[in-house]
């Protein structure tokens, strides 16, 4: 009870909140999102719509809070403080579910990194990292679009990234990864970097690690499942009958830069595009000929950053029959600067700079 009293009397403050596209409308909401996706700021911005004595904020990752029993007195605390209309609890996990289900309050807002956390009485909203349009609002260093895009592709789409210097960003991301994951888990995550935009093999990761550390095949598979559940990585399946192939991407497309010295701009731009496409909330696949394929929309995507438009149109003609088979109506070719369009038998090929596609989506 003493801890709850402290948090009630010392509420968090935000000097300025930058609006996100996610809006909270319900009274009982669970926000699921990755580390550094901006969950905390969204919770606090909702709280600040109430008077100081009308809300309570608790962060379960605060080292002063005992996760096992930090919320045991919460129900009683709310009864004693009848002015409380809104409660926000950051970083909840399955240890707190029974307490949270039975709370009686006008508005209850929760956040978690886990996709699998299930509270039937709560509306679950998935918070993705910043898209390019949101990043523009966060980036206040310049109004020049080319420079903003350069910063976006250098810093990534984490909510706090644009407020940090490059060397601070690496330190910040490595600190929060070390705080959340074990050394073995981080070793597995570093191996995942090698598979960005490639066919993924957990077995290959196990074989690469077993000679340098004590690790089991089962632990590697469980760790990868954990990363996927906690919104660190995302798998895109192959569009083919009975195929188990999948490709790996990071939901913070610059996170690999904090885990490896290797740089591959093509992979990063493809990963950045995937993060934008996830906003459409449609199933995404890959094929032998397309980086991404969205059958519900009839869209195909290729990422070709620097090739001339003439050569891109030759490629369009080369894969045209495959596009017909897939019933692709529009092929988007994502470039850094080139633009142009061509149509053939009702299928349109449009070359667009990344920024133009992202802002027009």
Q: Are residues 116 and 137 in the same domain?
A: no
Same domain, 155 and 106: no
What b/e sequence results for 161-200 when a residue is b if at least 16 CB atoms lie within 10 Å of its CB, and e otherwise?
Answer: bbeeeeeebeebbeeebeeebeebbbbbbbbbbbbbbeeb
Return the pLDDT at 308. Answer: 94
Residues 292-301 as b or e (16 or more Cβ within 10 Å = b):
bbbeeeebbb
Mean of the pLDDT values across residues 211-237? 96
1 pLDDT above the threshold of 80: no
3-state helix, strand, coil in the chain (%, to 5): 40, 20, 40
**How many CB atoms sit inside 10 A of residue 67's CB?**
14
What are 44-48's contacts with CB under 8 Å, separation 24+? 44/12, 44/14, 44/17, 44/88, 45/14, 45/17, 46/86, 46/88, 46/107, 46/109, 47/11, 47/12, 47/86, 47/88, 47/109, 48/14, 48/17
Residue 23 has pLDDT above 90, yes or no: no
Of 127, 152, 176, which residue constitutes the final position of a domain?
127
Do 58 and 102 touch, CB atoms closer than 8 A? Answer: no
Judge if 65 and 110 occupy the same domain.
yes
Between residues 13 and 292, the one the model is more confident about = 292
Q: What is the pLDDT of residue 26?
A: 82
Q: Are residues 325 and 178 in the same domain?
A: yes
Q: 23 and 98 share a domain?
A: yes
Q: Please determine, for residue 304, whether its predicted confidence score (pLDDT) is greater than 90.
A: yes
Q: pLDDT tens, 73-132? A: 888 899 899 999 999 999 988 877 777 777 888 899 999 999 998 888 889 999 999 999
The pLDDT mean for the chain works out to 92
Cα 36 to the center of its chain, rounded Å: 9
Mind listing the pLDDT tens digit for each residue in 268-300?
A: 999 999 999 999 999 999 999 999 999 999 999
Q: Which residue has the higher pLDDT, 344 or 15?
A: 344
How many residues appear in the chain?
361
Given 104, 127, 150, the domain boundary residue is 127
Average pLDDT over residues 179-187: 95
**Judgement on whether residues 61 and 167 belong to the same structural domain of the protein:** no
223/117 same-domain check: no
Can you list the pairs that 174-182 forms with residues at least 24 positions away whose Cβ atoms lie under 8 Å?
Answer: 174/258, 176/35, 176/36, 177/35, 177/258, 180/35
Q: Which of 81, 110, 127 is a domain's end point?
A: 127
Q: Does residue 251 carry a pLDDT above 70?
A: yes
What pLDDT was estimated at residue 20?
87
Identify the band that residue 70 occupies on the pLDDT scale cut at 50, 70 and 90.
low
Bridge partner residues of 124 (DSSP): 30
Domain encompassing residue 235: 132-360
Of 305, 320, 245, the C-alpha closest to 273 is 305
Overall domain count for the chain: 2
Position 189 pLDDT exceeds 80: yes
Instruction: Kindly state whether residues 277 and 334 are assigned to the same domain.
Output: yes
CATH number at residue 25: 3.40.50
Q: Are residues 241 and 274 in the same domain?
A: yes
**252 and 116 together in one domain:** no
- For residue 187, is pLDDT > 80? yes
**In terms of domains, do 96 and 141 share one?**
no
| 8 A C-beta contact, residue 28 and residue 108 | yes
| 99 plus 49 within the same structural domain | yes
Q: Of 328, 127, 153, 360, whose CA–CA distance to 256 is shortest? A: 153
| CATH code for the domain of 273 | 1.10.10.10
Angle CA 316–320–326, to nearest 5: 120
């Amino acid at each position: 009870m003493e801890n709850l009293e402290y948090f009630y009397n010392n509420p968090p403050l935000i000097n300025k909140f930058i609006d996100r596209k996610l809006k909270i409308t319900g009274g009982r909401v669970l926000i699921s999102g990755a580390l550094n996706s901006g969950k905390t700021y969204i919770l606090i911005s909702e709280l600040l719509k109430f008077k100081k004595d009308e809300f309570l904020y608790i962060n379960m990752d605060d080292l002063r809070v005992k996760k096992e029993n930090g919320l045991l007195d919460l129900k009683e605390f709310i009864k004693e403080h009848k002015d409380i209309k809104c409660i926000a609890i950051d970083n909840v996990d399955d240890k707190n579910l029974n307490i949270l289900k039975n709370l009686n309050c006008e508005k209850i807002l929760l956040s978690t990194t886990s996709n699998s956390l299930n509270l039937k009485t709560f509306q679950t909203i998935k918070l993705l990292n910043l898209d390019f349009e949101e990043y523009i609002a966060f980036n206040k260093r310049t109004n020049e679009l080319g420079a903003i895009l350069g910063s976006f592709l250098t810093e990534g789409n984490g909510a706090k990234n644009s407020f940090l210097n490059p060397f601070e960003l690496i330190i910040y991301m490595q600190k929060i990864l070390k705080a959340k994951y074990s050394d073995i888990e981080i070793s597995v995550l570093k191996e995942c970097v090698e598979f960005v935009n490639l066919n993924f093999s957990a077995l290959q990761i196990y074989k690469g690690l077993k000679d340098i550390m004590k690790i089991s095949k089962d632990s590697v598979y469980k760790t990868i499942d954990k990363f996927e559940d906690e919104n660190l990585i995302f798998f895109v399946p192959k569009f083919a009958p009975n195929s188990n192939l999948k490709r790996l991407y990071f939901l913070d497309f610059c996170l690999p830069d904090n885990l490896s010295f290797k740089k591959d701009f093509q992979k990063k731009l493809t990963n950045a595009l995937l993060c934008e496409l996830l906003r459409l909330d449609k199933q995404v696949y890959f094929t032998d000929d397309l980086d991404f394929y969205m059958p519900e929309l009839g869209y195909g995507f290729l990422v070709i950053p620097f090739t001339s438009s003439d050569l891109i149109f030759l490629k369009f003609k080369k894969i045209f029959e495959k596009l017909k088979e897939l019933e692709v109506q529009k092929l988007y070719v994502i470039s850094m600067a080139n633009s142009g369009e061509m149509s053939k038998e009702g299928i349109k090929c449009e070359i667009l700079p990344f920024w133009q596609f992202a802002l027009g989506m």
